[in-house]
Amino acid sequence: MKIFGNNSKEEQYIEFDILKYNEEREKKGLPKIEITPITSEEIENLNNFCKSINHEGCLLSDSGENKKAIERYNLVLSVNPKYLDALYNKGRALHLLGEYSKAIESYDEVLIIDPKHILTLHNKGMDLFCMERYNEAIEVFDSVLKIDPTHTNAIHNKKVTLEKLNKQ
């Protein structure tokens, strides 16, 4: 797998902490990412490609073709494994297919990049709820509420989850 690295005098790169990212991937048993330098023109072309293919995935998902949408998101991720929108959208499509653990895996990749991505946190909580992992769902909803104490969906879903947990 290839991804873009840090700044250089002659070439521009998309900047991120590859070491931290690889540490998180290694903890999850995922392969490390190698760094490949590319020019600013190549970056622009790849970004446009990723944006276009991700959009195709969204249109497919919106029309209920989630398996095809996931194929599009995977194509984007083969070019840039850290493309946040594709990771998030893939998780959403997996959720709609009822593949909750795979959705959580995709959401966890988003959270490596942006630990406070509120939509991802909320959706992860919903998938944990769907898997009847209520204690974990409550923890995730609490994480959402630490970021935004007025998040109405998290407030409601935490309440519903607590009710389910108390009925067990």
pLDDT digits (tens, 9 = 90+) for 58-87: 999 999 999 999 999 999 998 888 999 999
Is 133 part of a structural domain of the chain?
A: yes
Is 127 part of a structural domain of the chain?
A: yes
Q: Residue 164: pLDDT above 50?
A: yes
Q: What is the predicted pLDDT for the residue at 18?
A: 66
**Domain count within the chain:** 1
Is 43 part of a structural domain of the chain?
A: no
CATH of residue 120: 1.25.40
Is 122 part of a structural domain of the chain?
A: yes
Is 64 part of a structural domain of the chain?
A: no
Domain carrying residue 153: 115-168
Is 60 part of a structural domain of the chain?
A: no
Q: Residue 14: pLDDT above 70?
A: no
* Distance between CA atoms of residues 113 and 160, nearest Å: 29
**What is the rounded average pLDDT of the residues 12-36?**
70
